C-alpha cells in the first residue's frame, strides 16, 4: 500500500514529497530551515532563483505556525510562480506513484455533514486496538508513512489502530509503527505524524447501531463515496483465531528455557500486506505486547489483531529484533521477562530465530535462553500459578 506522493495544501501553494524523499519524522528540523537552503532550478538565472527563494521563505515561515512538526523537506515546490520544469517533474512523480496492493480507494475527510457515507462501525479488539468498517464492508486501512485508504479485510496490522483519548475530548489514532493519522487541509489522511498536535485530532459523533462519524480538525467528516451493501452488524471480522478457543487463557512468555520443546516453538504466520509476522503458541494463542500491561509481553491473545503483528528487523550475525505495534522493541531481561518498551536497538533486543522446517520457529535471547510460553491459571489472590 504505497501511494507515493504526500500532499500538503494551502491557498497559495502545494508542497509535495515523494515517499523516497520523506525524512525520518523523529529527526526533522524546523520547517523554516527550508528558507535558508539554496534552491537550484535547472539553470534558471540567479535573479529568478532569488525571487523564488523569497516566495519559499515567506511560505515556509507561515507553515511553521500551521504545522510545527513539518521538518526538513528535501524538495519544496514553490508557489504558482513555479517554473514549467518543476511542474513537469511533479506531474511525472504523480504518474509514477504506485497503487495499493489490494482493491482500495483513497480515504478523505471531505464531507460537510454526516450521512450514510460517513459512518463506520467501531470494532473493539481484545488487545486494546480498534478497527473501523464502513457499511460497504471496507475497512479504514493505513500503513506507516503512507496515505490511508478504505479496503477489504486484509491480514496484518494495517486495519487496527490504537485509540487515544485526548484531554480536550478529541481522539487520535496510532497506526502500526507508532505514528499517528494526520488529516491535511486537502482532506487526505496520511499516517506520518510522530506526535499528536492539532491535525492529528478527530471529533467523534455517534450514530445508530454503534457507528461513529469522525470529524477532522478542518471541519470535514471522513467518509467513503462508493456505497455497497447495507450495514450488517452480524457479519464477523475475518481474523486469525483458534476455532475451539471458548475463552481467553493466561499464557506468559519468558526467555528462561535451556533447550527447545513444544513450549519453545511458535507457529509463524506472515502477513504479506504489511510485512509483519504473528506467532502462535502451542496453546493456540498469539504472542502480544498490549499497552495495558505496560510493555510486558505475553502469549494470551486468542486472536491475531494489531498488537499481535511484529516486524522482524534483521540484525548482524543473522539475528533479528521484534518491533511492536507502538514502534518499540522487545527486550529480554536478565531474569527472563520480556518487555516491549525499548526505543532503541541493543544487544538485549536481539534474538537468534531458529527455523525448524515445520512452520515453527524458536527465539534464543542474548542471554542464551529460549523464549517459552507457559499456561498460568490465576489463583484467588491474583498471583500466577505455573502449570504445564
Q: How far apart are CA 28 and CA 23, in angstroms?
A: 7
Per-residue pLDDT at 20: 33
Give residue for cell 513537469: 88
Q: If you average pLDDT over residues 32-40, what whole number do you get?
A: 34
Q: How far apart are CA 119 and CA 211, in angstroms?
A: 6
Q: What residues contact 247, with CB distance under 8 A and at least 6 apart?
A: 302
Residue span(s) of the chain under CATH 2.80.10.50 come to: 105-223, 240-375
Indicate if the pLDDT at residue 369 is higher than 80: yes
Predicted confidence band of residue 226 (pLDDT cuts 50, 70, 90): low
Per-residue pLDDT at 257: 96
On the CB side of 188, CA atoms within 13 Å amount to 18
Per-residue pLDDT at 106: 83
* 84-110 residue pLDDT tens: 333 333 333 333 333 344 456 888 999
* 106-151 residue pLDDT tens: 889 999 999 988 999 999 888 889 999 988 888 999 999 999 999 8
Q: How far apart are CA 220 and CA 217, in angstroms?
A: 8
- Of the ranges 40-44, 47-51, 183-187, 315-319, which one carries the lowest mean pLDDT score? 40-44
Q: Would the pTM of this model clear 0.75, i.e. be above it?
A: no
Per-residue pLDDT at 166: 96
- Of the ranges 113-127, 249-263, 287-301, 335-349, which one carries the lowest mean pLDDT score? 287-301
Per-residue pLDDT at 96: 36
CATH class of residue range 240-375: mainly beta
Multiple choice CATH, 105-223, 3.40.50.970, 3.90.1150.10, 2.80.10.50, 2.40.30.10: 2.80.10.50
Amino acid at each position: 500500500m504505497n501511494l507515493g506522493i504526500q500532499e500538503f495544501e494551502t491557498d497559495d501553494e502545494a508542497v509535495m514529497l515523494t515517499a523516497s524523499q520523506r525524512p525520518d519524522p523523529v529527526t526533522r528540523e524546523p520547517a523554516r530551515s527550508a528558507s535558508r537552503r539554496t534552491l537550484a532550478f535547472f539553470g534558471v538565472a540567479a535573479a529568478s532563483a532569488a525571487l523564488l527563494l523569497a516566495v519559499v521563505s515567506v511560505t515556509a515561515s507561515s507553515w511553521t505556525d500551521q504545522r510545527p512538526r513539518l521538518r526538513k523537506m528535501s524538495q519544496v515546490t514553490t508557489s504558482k510562480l513555479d517554473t514549467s520544469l518543476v511542474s513537469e517533474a511533479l506531474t511525472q512523480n504523480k504518474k509514477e506513484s504506485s497503487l495499493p496492493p489490494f482493491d482500495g480507494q483513497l480515504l478523505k475527510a471531505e464531507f460537510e455533514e454526516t450521512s450514510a457515507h460517513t459512518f463506520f462501525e467501531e470494532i473493539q479488539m481484545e488487545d486494546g486496538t480498534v478497527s473501523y468498517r464502513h457499511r460497504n464492508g471496507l475497512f479504514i486501512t493505513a500503513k506507516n508513512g503512507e496515505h490511508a485508504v478504505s479496503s477489504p479485510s486484509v491480514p496484518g496490522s494495517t486495519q487496527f489502530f490504537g485509540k487515544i483519548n485526548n484531554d480536550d475530548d478529541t481522539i487520535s489514532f496510532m497506526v502500526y509503527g507508532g505514528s499517528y493519522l494526520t488529516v491535511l487541509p486537502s482532506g487526505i489522511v496520511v499516517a506520518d505524524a510522530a506526535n499528536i498536535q492539532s491535525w492529528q485530532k478527530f471529533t467523534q459523533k455517534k450514530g445508530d447501531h454503534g457507528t461513529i462519524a469522525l470529524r477532522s480538525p478542518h471541519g470535514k467528516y471522513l467518509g467513503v463515496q462508493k456505497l455497497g451493501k447495507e450495514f450488517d452488524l452480524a457479519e464477523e471480522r475475518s481474523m486469525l483465531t483458534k476455532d475451539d478457543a471458548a475463552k481467553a487463557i493466561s499464557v506468559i512468555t519468558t526467555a528462561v528455557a535451556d533447550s527447545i520443546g513444544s513450549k519453545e516453538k511458535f507457529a509463524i504466520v506472515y502477513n504479506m500486506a504489511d510485512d509483519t509476522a504473528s506467532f502462535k503458541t502451542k496453546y493456540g494463542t498469539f504472542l502480544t505486547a498490549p499497552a495495558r500491561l505496560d510493555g510486558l509481553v505475553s502469549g494470551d491473545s486468542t486472536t491475531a489483531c494489531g498488537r499481535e503483528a511484529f516486524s522482524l528487523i534483521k540484525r548482524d550475525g543473522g539475528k533479528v529484533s521484534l518491533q511492536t505495534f507502538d514502534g518499540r522493541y522487545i527486550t529480554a531481561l536478565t531474569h527472563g521477562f520480556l518487555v516491549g518498551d525499548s526505543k532503541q536497538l541493543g544487544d538485549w533486543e536481539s534474538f537468534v530465530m531458529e527455523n525448524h522446517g515445520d512452520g515453527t520457529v524458536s527465539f534464543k535471547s542474548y542471554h542464551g535462553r529460549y523464549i517459552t510460553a507457559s499456561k498460568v491459571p490465576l489463583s484467588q489472590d491474583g498471583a500466577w500459578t505455573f502449570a504445564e
